[in-house]
Amino acid sequence: MCKPSIPVRLSLTAILLGAVVAVAQMPTSIAKPPKAEQKAAKQEAKPAARHDGPLLPSSFAGWQAASSATPVTNSAQADPANAAALKEYGLTDAVQNDYTRGNQTLKIKALRFGDASGAYGAYSFYRQTGWPKVEIGTGGASDNNRVLFWVGNVVIDAQFSRISAMSASELRELAGAIPIPAGNKSLAPPILANLPQKEMDGESTHYALGAAGYVGPAGAASSIGVLPPSLIGFDRGAETATASYKLQSGPATLTLINYPTPQMAAAQAKAIADYLKAGNSPQQPFTKPLQESNPAALEVRRSGPLVAVVSGDPIPDEAHKLLETVHYEADMSSLPGEPNHEVQNFAKLILGIIVLVVVMFVAAVIVAIFLGGGRAAFRVMRGKPASTMFDDEFTRLDLRE
């Protein structure tokens, strides 16, 4: 019987080893379907869910609580001027505490909501246009000594007596100590995924679940909302997302309104179109953002349960192109730029196995060629044929007789 040569045996061994390594690296979820995974809100580094612990720690980064914090569950106590908006976003409780470090002071207000959608909405409600972005928690912005950020279902409003280069790092430590929820409560509003990303000012997005949140905080210089709240239909379960865009011909604002059904969206889209077509009049006066807009650029478009309205000062062609980029997809459930992790992880696993097998096979071939070629060269240098086929000790069967 003809036995495989040493190089061939080495090649087969290497391939088998590669397959064993690939199988060993496969996660147990392939053999047994996992339970529903806990999805966190969009973050650069998504922390594990933290359920236990107080809403605000007694100390962090050298800051010490001046007294015991007293939680409140009434939105009027948390922020009397904006109680209606906090109620719309689903405020569950709040804590305010003062911290000291040496001769410095830090006032922190923590607002907790039923889910991450409410927290993001409240964060976008309090954040003013033009505030510089800071990398804290899921998202943050600052205004001189005031820093605002959100993580999980909690919004933190911090006011330093004196800001320093380490203030952001200190608040990141605080963000890591805040308890956050798991599962669906950690998902940010899916409507944000429908906002076109090109030329969008990421610090201008705003999410509203009611008229108070749509208008903006009390005492703000201008209203956040573009359309009259009565025209949107919040009482019918509508939610809105707005963002500013820096188009070549001028700034534009895109307003998205999500309705429970496409039929409701179609009826409301017609009402909004009629309102814009009628123009500014004493009977139906325009809001300030609409008065400052280019009338030729005002346009409405519906896609499924979404109604998109563009305003601002771009030329009509650019305004129309911006509207055309809004498309509703029924299976959309993540934020812009956030991949479907389950599908991606499985695809990466299969790709990794394929790459590993190919690499091991190529390595086995190279080793076989190196060893086999070296052995053949060694035999030739000794004056023997390169192959062992002609050796006397080679066993072969002659079946011709």
Task: Return the amino acid letter for 203.
Answer: E
Predicted local distance difference test score (pLDDT) of residue 111: 96
Whether this prediction's pTM lies above 0.75 is answered by no
> Of the spans 1-10, 238-247, 362-371, which averages the highest pLDDT?
238-247
165 — phi, psi (to 5°)? -65, -20
Predicted local distance difference test score (pLDDT) of residue 52: 56
Taking all residues of the chain, what is their mean pLDDT, rounded to a whole number?
Answer: 82
- From the list 178, 142, 144, 176, the residue with the least C-alpha distance to 161 is 144
Do the beta carbons of residue 199 and residue 215 sit within 8 Å?
Answer: no
Q: What is the DSSP secondary-structure string of 24-64?
A: HHS-HHHHSPPPPPPPPPS-SSPPPPB--S-SS-SEETTEE
User: 151 in helix, strand or coil?
Assistant: strand
Taking only the tens place, the pLDDT of each residue in 27-80 is 433 333 333 333 333 333 344 455 556 899 999 999 999 888 878 989 999 999
Lowest mean pLDDT among 260-264, 265-269, 335-339: 335-339
CA distance 308 to 326: 7
CA distance 88 to 118: 8
Q: Which residue has the higher pLDDT, 2 or 162?
A: 162
* Residue 264 confidence (pLDDT) above 70: yes
* pLDDT confidence band for 173 (50 / 70 / 90): very high
Q: Which two tokens stand for residue 285?
A: 């006066």
* Residue 2 confidence (pLDDT) above 70: no
Predicted local distance difference test score (pLDDT) of residue 342: 61
Average pLDDT over residues 193-207: 92
- From the list 106, 137, 140, the residue with the least C-alpha distance to 123 is 140
Predicted local distance difference test score (pLDDT) of residue 129: 82
Give strand pairing partners of 148: 141, 157
Q: What is the CB neighbour count within 10 angstroms for residue 32?
A: 8
Taking only the tens place, the pLDDT of each residue in 337-381 is 444 556 667 788 898 899 999 999 999 889 888 877 777 787 777
Q: Which residue has the higher pLDDT, 181 or 92?
A: 92
Task: Return the amino acid letter for 223.
Answer: S
CA distance 75 to 14: 67
* Residue 223 confidence (pLDDT) above 90: no
